[in-house]
Amino acid sequence: MSENRYVRTRIDDAIATVVIDRQSKLNALNRQVVAEIDGAFAALRDEGSVRAVILTGAGDKAFVAGADIGVLAGMDPLSGVGVSREGQDILRRIELFPKPVIAAVGGYALGGGCELALACHLRVASDRARFGLPEVSLGIIPGYGGTVRLTRVVGLGRAVEMILSGDMVGAERAAEIGLANMVVPHEELLERTRTFAGRMTRNAPVALEMALKSIYQAVESPMDQAQATEATMFGLLASTDDMKEGMAAFLEKRKARFSGR
Ligand code: COA
């Protein structure tokens, strides 16, 4: 699909898989890797045939072992803010992606890698996954939204523990605290993630987009505003062919065929 050095995309049956492949550095994120991830998502955004995206790391050891420490070591205060803002912006675009994005984590998801997984809507962990935010061991803090999103996903006490200790958590513990949606055998990671994605892609695409918008806006707004957003999205969906099709299919006792309009 593209001529990237570190990131490749393939599309099968409405599901795109974006693979980060910089295995010699455990898929660590340098500027080019994050730019290529951003480009891959931008290309998939308007690709009508794609209804969900799986993001994963190449090789058996890592999803992504963090931002590239070799690059971070050379930063000064000004470039540090820049690095953080650039990463935050790219991860925010993933979080706001209008189709479900699932991280398939088959190894280390550390630092920026854990933050990248947190920016995805869902996380499937293989039994070899290890999540952690070890930045304080390097004298920094998570800078790609990790202090914000980890707290939202696992709660304040657990986020403070993970961020201040820098300790890794394994797949089972990640699932226990809600960091992973499920744990699957390592060899089955991609296949099981595809099946998981299929539970979403069978549903009406515009409804999925509105559900994501409503959920994520709710996290950031007061109750009355969040409910107003929900009501607007709910009402908007009445204008879609997919609502008509979904309800007609139910009443006619058949499977719905959604067009995404
Ligand atoms: N940035 C840059 N390079 C990284 C990296 C990172 N975040 N994580 C791993 N690498 C590199 C290593 O330097 C090594 O490169 P080399 O072969 O040229 O020396 C290569 O990837 C393999 O890593 P290695 O440390 O030899 O593997 P390991 O199995 O012994 O340990 C980890 C794996 C993940 C525990 C270890 O690499 C690690 O702690 N990485 C840093 C994690 C981190 O702090 N991330 C947050 C950054 S903000």
Q: What is the pLDDT of residues 109-137, one digit of tens each?
A: 999 999 999 999 999 999 999 999 999 99
Pairing of strands 122-126, 182-184: parallel
Q: Residue 20 and residue 5: Cα distance in Å, rounded?
A: 10
Q: Taking each helix axis as running N to C, give the angle between helix 241-251 and helix 205-220, from 0 to 180 degrees, rounded to the nearest 10.
A: 110
Q: Where are the domains of the chain?
A: 7-201, 205-251
Residue type, 14: A
State the closest ligand 1 atom to the C-alpha of 108, by its place in the atom list counted from 1: 34
pLDDT number for residue 3: 73
Q: Residue 254 and residue 168: Cα distance in Å, rounded?
A: 47
Catalytic residue among 115, 172, 209, 245: 115
- Is residue 87 within 6 Å of ligand 1 at its C-beta? no
Digit-coded pLDDT (tens) for 36-69: 999 999 999 999 999 999 999 999 999 999 999 9
Say which CATH architecture domain 205-251 belongs to. Answer: Orthogonal Bundle (1.10)
Catalytic residue among 135, 161, 188, 252: 135
User: Which residue's CA is minimally distant from atom 44 of ligand 1?
Assistant: 134
Could you confirm whether domain 7-201 is CATH 3.90.226.10? yes
Digit-coded pLDDT (tens) for 4-45: 999 999 999 999 999 999 999 999 999 999 999 999 999 999
